Amino acid sequence: MVIIIQMNSNDNNDDEPKQNNTVCSAMKKKVDLHHSWKKKAYKDMPKGSKEQQAASKYISNHTHYSTTDPDAGISVKPGKPRQLNYHAQVAVDTAHHVITQIESHYAGKRDSQCLSSVVKNTVENLKQNNLIVEEVLADAGYSSGEALQALEDYNIKGYIPNFGQYKPSREGFTYDKENDRYTCSRGIHLPFKKIQTNSLGYQMKVYRSSAKDCGHCPLRSVCIGKSDFKKIDDSVDKPLYDRMHARLQTTKARRMKKLRSSTVEPVLGTLVNYLNMRRVNTRGMKQSNKCMLMAAIAYNLKKLMKFTARKVQADVKAMQQSLQNAFFMFYILLAPIELLIIICCKKSKPILMEKQML
């Protein structure tokens, strides 16, 4: 089960620093946008304040890179310092807590962008032992249209909470799937108009009413305010999110949520605290991937050794019980008939009556 987990960078030689330090036009636009956002957010801060000092130290992959390890990227996590890291993605079996896949990704990559790769590699790994992945558990960070589509392509049932901006329904509007349009409470239709890309890079379907229909509506001030028409934006992958939302309302989904938190967290804690995955002492994506693989192999070997030890103990107990049963049967065969009747009487009354009849 997956319980989990860009910088657009090509594979570089692990020992060679980045030679080309020029910036393309697309990256320059991202950097300018980053600085403009920072300037606007901290515009009214007093000079010399802690907030302004924090703004001056605010770093990201738009402004910084490593000259010695170009594949490493700056990771952003609440409560953690911004520093150069690699992104580890782990797939864990819920039955025995065995790591079925581990791989390294760029720190600037979202979890949802990594899920399809993790699922693909996990399915291929388990197929070698005739094991089939039926269900995948993950947190809301792995929710995206690309990730959900990957699960359906592999015929895998997923339990992934939808991201915060998802809305299963619109208050006061009903969706007509056959005609692909929304209808308000007064019967005004909002047909599908076009697909556009929003500021975050997501493709959205735009549903919009006519200005003539909304011009004399008594609910205009509450519904659209000063606008001339009503507009509703939905993700192009909304059917995937809707199916996931319906599945998450079941009792099984609530059990799966508890199972997810109790499965992957102990595994990650063991890897970080006891198997040297807190820091990668190598350079390059390939070398970091090797470090993570070695840590996962060590973890699985320890699991295997403990599982084998438990199996040996169970075999010893079974042998002891078999010897006791064999001794009892041997004693019965050599015992006289009167003693046999007494022994059977102590065990159960129906057996005693059967012996008396004989």
Q: Rounded CA gap, 309 and 315, in Å?
A: 10
* Whether 222 contacts 201, CB under 8 Å: no
The pLDDT of residue 245: 93
What is residue 313's predicted lDDT score, i.e. its pLDDT? Answer: 66
pLDDT reported for residue 300? 92
| Strand-pair partners of 192 | 207
Q: Which domains does the chain have, with CATH numbers?
A: 25-163+243-303 (3.30.420.10), 173-237 (no CATH)
**Structure tokens, 301:** 């070997």
> What does the pLDDT read at residue 121?
92
pLDDT at 156: 92
Please give the pLDDT value at position 352. Answer: 36
Regions of the chain with pLDDT less than 50? 1-19, 51-52, 55-56, 337-358
Which helix (H) or strand (E) covers residue 295, if one does? Answer: helix 285-334
The secondary structure of residue 265, as a DSSP letter, is H
What is residue 151's predicted lDDT score, i.e. its pLDDT? Answer: 93
Task: Give the per-residue pLDDT at 216.
Answer: 83
Look at residue 201 in the predicted model and tell me its pLDDT: 76
Report the candidate in 29, 20, 4, 170 with the shortest Cα–Cα distance to residue 89.
Answer: 4
In the prediction, which pLDDT does 56 show? 46
Quote the DSSP letter at residue 201. Answer: S
Q: Round to whole Å and give the CA distance between 357 and 232.
A: 87
> pLDDT tens digits, residue range 229-268?
899 999 899 999 999 999 999 999 888 888 887 888 888 8
239 close to 218: Cβ distance less than 8 angstroms: no
Say how many C-beta atoms besides its own lie within 10 A of residue 42's C-beta.
Answer: 15
**Distance of alpha carbon 83 from alpha carbon 117, whole angstroms:** 25
Report pLDDT for 48.
Answer: 54
